[in-house]
């Protein structure tokens, strides 16, 4: 945990956002420190909207987003990426027409770190990618393309990694592998991780704290250890 005086790594205040004039997020407040922070919620709760807004791809209609104390509410996505936000959307997370190497290179274009070093680190985390660099990313399997998407974000050397449903649609073995990798990325590199997940059990296995979203409003943030089935059922309206 950071020192008491240091600002949280990511801080969200009264966040409102949506598509056009359709409001989706209706006032969210939370702060994330160096941890794995999971956002839970059923279909349509606004999880994807929240991450896209944090990545600055959707306009903020009200409220603010601060990254390490710096207000990034008005920054475009290309600038927040340079300030250390890595974003892996759930859909369209790779450039399908580009090769795996090119996908990773796109992420490696910002920052001072040499490309080779970044690639080496990505291959350390995802060894499967090493012999697939020449392939067209669109031809990869679901699990592999998810690895490419993650790898591309890691190439940016981010301080915060936003993962939107990182394991949706993957087979159970991949799911396990992915959560293991997520834990590794957090503990090994000190990257703060914010992920959304529909499946509460999976998320609780890796997260330090969780928040349940329902119809654009957030529940109180719960420490993973305190979460009970009843509290979850209530937040999910089940």
Partner 1 sequence: MGDQRRSSIRVEQVQKSYAGRMVVDVDELVLGDVPIEGLLGPNGAGKTTLMRMVMNSVSPDAGRITLNSSDGSTTTLSSLPTHKMAHHGVVKSTQVITDFDQLTILDSMLLAVATTGHEFPVRPGAERSLMSANEDEIRSYLERFGFADATAIAMSAGEKKLLDILRCLLLKPSILLLDEPTAGLPDEVTAKVLEVIRELAADGTSVVIVEHDLDVIWELCDEVTFMAEGRVLMKDDPASIRANATVIEKYLGAGHG
Partner 2 sequence: MDRPARLASTDEPAVDRDVAAQHVEGPTTSGHHNVVAESSGRSPRRPGRTTSILVAAAVGLVVLASLSDFVAKSLVIGATENAALVLAALGFALLYRLTGLLNVAYAETITLGGYFAVWLSSSLGWGFYAVVLPAGILAGLLSVGTYLAIFRVAKRRRVGDLEMIAMSFGLSIFLRHGLQFIFGYQVQFFDIAPPDTISVLGVGVPSFRLLALASVALLSILIYQFIQRTRYGLQIRALASNEGLAQASGVRPLTVTLLIWFVAGLAGGLAGAFYGVGSSVSPLLGSRQLLLVLLVVLVGGIWDLLGVVWVGVATGIALTAMTLQFGDGLYSSLVLIFAFLAVLKVRGRRLTAGTKV
What does the buried/exposed string (b/e) look like for 141-169 if buried means 16 or more CB atoms within 10 Å of the residue's CB?
Answer: eebbbbbbbbbbbbbbbbbbbbbbbbbee
* Closest CB 1 distance from partner 1, rounded Å: 27
Query: Does 172 contact partner 2 by CB under 8 A?
Result: yes
Closest alpha carbon to 153 in 141, 161, 144:
161
CB of 64 to partner 2, least distance (A): 19
Report d(CA 97, CA 167) in Å as an integer.
22
Contact letters for partner 1, residues 43-82 (x by CB under 8 A)? xxx-------------------------------------
Report 165-204 residues binding partner 1 (CB under 8 A).
165, 168-169, 198-203
Give dist(CA 182, CA 184) in Å, integer: 5
Under rule CB under 8 A, residue 127 binds partner 2: no
Is the distance from CB of 40 to CB of 210 less than 8 angstroms? yes
Footprint on residues 147-166 left by partner 1 (CB under 8 A): 165
Rg (CA), the chain: 17
Total residues in contact with partner 2, by rule CB under 8 A: 58
Give strand ranges (E) for 33-147: 36-40, 60-67, 70-71, 85-88
Residue 117 CA to residue 120 CA, distance in Å, equals 5
Q: Name the minimum Å distance from CB 23 to partner 1.
A: 7
**Distance (Å) of CA 31 to CA 10, 79, 218:** 6, 21, 12
Partner touching 123 among partner 2, partner 1, none, CB below 5 to 8 Å by kind: none
Residue 96 beta carbon to partner 1: minimum distance, rounded to whole angstroms: 11
Residues paired with residue 28 on neighbouring β-strands, in sequence order: 15
Q: Is 197 helix (H, G, I), strand (E, B) or coil?
A: strand
Q: Does 236 bind partner 1 (CB under 8 A)?
A: yes
Instruction: Compose the 141-160 pattern: x for residues touching partner 2 by CB under 8 A, - for all others.
Output: xxxx-------xx--x----
What is the three-class DSSP state of 30? strand
Spacing of C-alpha 7 from chain mean position: 20
Please choose, out of 33-41, 64-72, 162-170, 221-229, the segment that lies near partner 2 by the rule CB under 8 A. Answer: 162-170
Q: Of these, 119, 140, 185, 232, which contacts partner 2 (CB under 8 A)?
A: 140
Q: Which stretch binds partner 2 (CB under 8 A): 32-40, 66-74, 133-141, 200-208?
A: 133-141
Piece of 77-85, 117-125, 187-195, 201-209 that binds partner 2 (CB under 8 A): 77-85
**Residues in contact with partner 1 by the rule CB under 8 A:** 20-23, 42-45, 142, 165, 168-169, 198-203, 215, 229, 232-233, 236-238
């Amino acid at each position: 945990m950071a020192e008491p005086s240091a600002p949280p790594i990511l801080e969200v205040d009264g966040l409102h956002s949506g598509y056009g004039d359709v409001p989706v997020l209706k006032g969210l407040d939370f702060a994330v420190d160096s941890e794995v922070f999971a956002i839970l919620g059923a279909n349509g709760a606004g999880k994807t909207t929240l991450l896209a807004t944090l990545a600055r791809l959707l306009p903020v209609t009200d409220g603010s987003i601060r990254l390490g104390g710096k207000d990034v509410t008005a920054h475009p996505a290309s600038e927040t990426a340079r300030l250390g936000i890595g974003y892996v959307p759930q859909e369209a997370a790779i450039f399908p027409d580009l090769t795996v190497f090119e996908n990773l290179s796109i992420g490696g274009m910002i920052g001072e770190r040499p490309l080779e070093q970044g690639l080496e680190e990505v291959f350390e985390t995802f060894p499967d990618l090493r012999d697939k660099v020449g392939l067209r990313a669109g031809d990869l399997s679901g699990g592999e393309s998810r690895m490419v998407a993650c790898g591309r974000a890691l190439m940016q050397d981010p301080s915060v990694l936003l993962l939107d449903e990182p394991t949706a649609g993957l087979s159970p073995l991949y799911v396990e592998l992915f959560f293991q990798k997520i834990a590794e990325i957090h503990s090994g590199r000190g990257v703060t991780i914010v992920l959304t997940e529909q499946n509460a059990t999976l998320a609780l296995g890796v997260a330090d704290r969780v928040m349940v979203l329902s119809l654009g409003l957030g529940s109180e943030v719960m420490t993973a250890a305190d979460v009970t089935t009843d509290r979850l059922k209530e937040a999910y309206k089940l």
